[in-house]
């Protein structure tokens, strides 16, 4: 049956940093008149509250509790491929004879097997990267043999097309220490073998932010920037009701945060968060606490499940510690003047899109590269230096906070942050670079043009 309107099935890996951008992409397609459905695992489906996008469960083989039930990352990813392929096919069959058969699968880059399911049903397939295009290009270069693993400690810098010279500490941890997470690295590299054969490769970023890289990759793989994939209300867009991601794996008490922030002067508050996955060691948490206290400024810390590692009475008169918040609402609040971040890609892009200066405290994965770019390429913050034990001391953190919140450098950082915020809004606005890429995709997908 021919579907005149177009139905896109967006398949998300069940982590907060993946569901957010993929759901956002689905909402953007729906706002352009398509039917969009998000597929994610049964234990995350209930956290999704959106009206414009349909939701379907797809099984990873661990329906009760997901990833935590799996014996290893490798076992989890293998199970997801096996069971997920079957349930993805079931979803396609479910809609096949309806008035809205699925025309296209947009799949998360960690689920590269989804393209085989799309091909099995002769459906258009598109990949979505949830990292920066620069980081994706590094994995691509590895795959092409432009540089090899392991990167030698002695190698001073790696020179790659479209990127600034990168030292070992600037590389994603999967490349700097390839033995640290072999299953993730294998899953990441797997898709690069067919990258130049896929019709559409989307990235949650925008052309202006990574312009040199986009030029350098032209013709190598079909990269299309479609971000920032942030709810439209935060980018001054007028898409009805789109003022939150609509998916939260934890409960936030944002009324408490907003009320607290409302009582603070403009640009005075330090927001601290290490995202949804990082596990900060007790010693490191204590040093961060020392740095915050020494900076003598109000702070809002999302401690998630590490509250027991924080010194007693830390919040005192000046701080607020919560386990989870609506991060966009916090970053958009005028009282927030600095974001101490792990530099997860979504968090980095959110801060860039909202003009919030950053102190980068990267942990693993792509975070070291994002922190490097925050400091040296986009110049919207600074990156902490770690001591010989890999710890960021309280003194170092205080120094970085001061650089970002006072003095001459602070003014330059703020000017750059405002500049990138404006570019981000323009990219997603009508006729902007990312908006145009989405329109082109829809047009070609509906005509089944490659």
Tokens representing residue 115 in the block: 């393209």
Q: Is 105 in a helix, a strand, or coil?
A: strand
Name the residue with tokens 């076992």: 75
Query: Applying CB under 6 A, which of residues 254, 273, 353, 370 lies at the interface with ligand UDP?
Result: 273
User: What is the nearest approach in angstroms of ligand UDP to the Cβ of residue 153?
Assistant: 26
**Closer by beta carbon to ligand UDP, 48 or else 158:** 48
Residue 26, H or E segment? helix 16-31
Distance CA 301, CA 322 (A): 6
Q: How many amino acids of this chain bind ligand UDP (CB under 6 A)?
A: 19
> Can residue 275 be called a binding residue for ligand UDP (CB under 6 A)?
yes
Q: Which residues contact 372 (CB under 8 A, 6 or more apart)?
A: 164, 166, 169, 170, 383
**Closer by beta carbon to ligand UDP, 163 or else 325:** 325
> Can residue 129 be called a binding residue for ligand UDP (CB under 6 A)?
no
> Can residue 232 be called a binding residue for ligand UDP (CB under 6 A)?
no
**Closer by beta carbon to ligand UDP, 15 or else 105:** 15
* CA distances (Å), origin 212, targets 127, 159, 160, 163: 22, 13, 11, 7
> Can residue 276 be called a binding residue for ligand UDP (CB under 6 A)?
yes
Applying CB under 6 A, the span of 13-21, 163-171, 205-213, 418-426 interacting with ligand UDP comes to 13-21
Closest by Cα among 3, 438, 380, 443 to 226: 438
Phi, psi angles (nearest 5°) of residue 158: -105, 130
> Can residue 131 be called a binding residue for ligand UDP (CB under 6 A)?
no
User: What is the nearest approach in angstroms of ligand UDP to the Cβ of residue 242?
Assistant: 15
Q: Classify the C-alpha dihedral 343-344-349-350 as positive or negative.
A: negative
User: What is the nearest approach in angstroms of ligand UDP to the Cβ of residue 275?
Assistant: 3
Query: Applying CB under 6 A, which of residues 347, 370, 393, 434 lies at the interface with ligand UDP?
Result: 347
Applying CB under 6 A, the span of 11-19, 60-68, 93-101, 378-386 interacting with ligand UDP comes to 11-19
User: What is the nearest approach in angstroms of ligand UDP to the Cβ of residue 236?
Assistant: 18
Distance CA 242, CA 232 (A): 6
Query: Applying CB under 6 A, which of residues 198, 277, 332, 391 lies at the interface with ligand UDP?
Result: 277
**Closer by beta carbon to ligand UDP, 309 or else 399:** 309
**Closer by beta carbon to ligand UDP, 37 or else 348:** 348
User: What is the nearest approach in angstroms of ligand UDP to the Cβ of residue 17?
Assistant: 3
> Can residue 350 be called a binding residue for ligand UDP (CB under 6 A)?
yes
Cis preceding-peptide flag for 309 (omega within 30 of 0)? no
User: What is the nearest approach in angstroms of ligand UDP to the Cβ of residue 16?
Assistant: 4
> Can residue 16 be called a binding residue for ligand UDP (CB under 6 A)?
yes
**Closer by beta carbon to ligand UDP, 360 or else 432:** 360
Q: Is 82 in a helix, a strand, or coil?
A: helix
Q: What is the DSSP code string of 252-318?
A: --HHHHHHHHHTS-TT-EEEEE-TTT----HHHHHHHHHHHHHHTS-EEEE-TT-GGGSPTT-STTT
Q: Which residues contact 339 (CB under 8 A, 6 or more apart)?
A: 270, 271, 272, 273, 331, 347, 351, 356, 357, 358, 359, 381
Q: What is the DSSP code string of 212-229?
A: HHHHHHTTTS-EEE----
**Closer by beta carbon to ligand UDP, 8 or else 15:** 15
Distance CA 26, CA 297 (A): 39
User: What is the nearest approach in angstroms of ligand UDP to the Cβ of residue 36?
Assistant: 19
Contact 106, 128 (CB under 8 A): yes
**Closer by beta carbon to ligand UDP, 137 or else 327:** 327
x/- contact string, 287-316, with ligand UDP (CB under 6 A)? ---------------x--------------
> Can residue 231 be called a binding residue for ligand UDP (CB under 6 A)?
no
Query: Applying CB under 6 A, which of residues 6, 14, 17, 381 lies at the interface with ligand UDP?
Result: 17
Q: Which residues contact 105 (CB under 8 A, 6 or more apart)?
A: 8, 9, 10, 11, 88, 92, 114, 115, 117, 118, 123, 124, 125, 126
Contact 56, 31 (CB under 8 A): no
> Can residue 20 be called a binding residue for ligand UDP (CB under 6 A)?
yes
Name the residue with tokens 């590895």: 142
User: What is the nearest approach in angstroms of ligand UDP to the Cβ of residue 154?
Assistant: 31
Residues from 316 through 345 that contact ligand UDP (CB under 6 A):
324-328, 344-345
**Closer by beta carbon to ligand UDP, 170 or else 350:** 350
Name the residues that contact ligand UDP, by CB under 6 A. Answer: 15-17, 20, 273, 275-277, 302, 324-328, 344-347, 350
């Amino acid at each position: 049956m021919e579907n005149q309107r177009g139905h896109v099935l967006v398949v998300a890996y069940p982590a907060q940093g993946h569901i957010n951008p993929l759901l956002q992409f689905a909402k953007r397609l729906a706002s352009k008149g398509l039917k969009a459905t998000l597929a994610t695992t049964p234990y995350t489906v209930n956290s999704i509250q959106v009206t414009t996008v349909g939701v379907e469960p797809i099984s990873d083989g661990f329906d009760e509790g997901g990833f935590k039930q799996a014996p290893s990352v490798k076992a989890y990813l293998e199970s997801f491929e096996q069971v997920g392929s079957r349930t993805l096919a079931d979803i396609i069959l479910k809609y096949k004879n309806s008035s809205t058969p699925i025309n296209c699968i947009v799949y998360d880059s960690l689920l590269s097997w989804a393209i085989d399911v799309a091909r099995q049903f002769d459906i258009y397939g598109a990949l979505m990267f949830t990292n920066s295009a620069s980081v994706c290009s590094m994995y691509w270069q590895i795959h092409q043999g432009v540089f090899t693993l392991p990167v030698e400690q002695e190698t001073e810098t790696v020179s790659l097309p479209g990127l600034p010279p990168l030292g070992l500490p600037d590389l994603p941890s999967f490349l700097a220490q390839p033995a640290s997470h072999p299953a993730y690295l294998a899953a990441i590299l797997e898709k690069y073998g067919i990258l130049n054969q896929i019709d559409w490769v989307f990235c949650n970023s925008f052309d202006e932010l990574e312009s040199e890289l986009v030029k350098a990759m032209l013709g190598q793989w079909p990269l299309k920037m479609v971000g920032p994939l942030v709810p439209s209300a935060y980018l001054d867009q007028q898409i009805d009701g789109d003022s939150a991601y609509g998916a939260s794996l934890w409960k936030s008490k944002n009324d408490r945060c907003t009320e607290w922030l409302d009582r603070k002067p403009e640009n005075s508050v330090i927001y601290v968060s290490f995202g949804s996955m990082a596990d900060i060691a007790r010693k490191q948490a204590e040093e961060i606490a020392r740095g915050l206290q020494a900076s003598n400024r109000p702070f809002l810390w999302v401690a998630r499940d590490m509250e027991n590692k924080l010194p007693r009475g830390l919040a005192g008169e000046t701080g607020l510690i919560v386990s989870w918040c609506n991060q966009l609402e916090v970053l958009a609040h005028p009282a927030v003047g600095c974001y101490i971040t792990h530099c997860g890609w979504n968090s980095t892009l959110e801060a860039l899109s909202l003009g919030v200066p950053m102190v980068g405290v990267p942990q693993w994965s792509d975070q070291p590269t994002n922190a490097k770019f925050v400091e040296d390429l986009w110049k919207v913050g600074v990156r902490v230096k770690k001591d010989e034990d890999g710890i960021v001391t309280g003194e170092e953190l205080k120094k970085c906070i001061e650089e970002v919140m006072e003095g001459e450098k602070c003014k330059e950082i703020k000017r750059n942050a405002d500049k990138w915020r404006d570019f981000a809004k323009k990219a997603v606005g009508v006729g902007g670079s990312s908006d145009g890429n989405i329109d082109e995709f829809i047009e070609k997908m509906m005509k089944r043009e490659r």
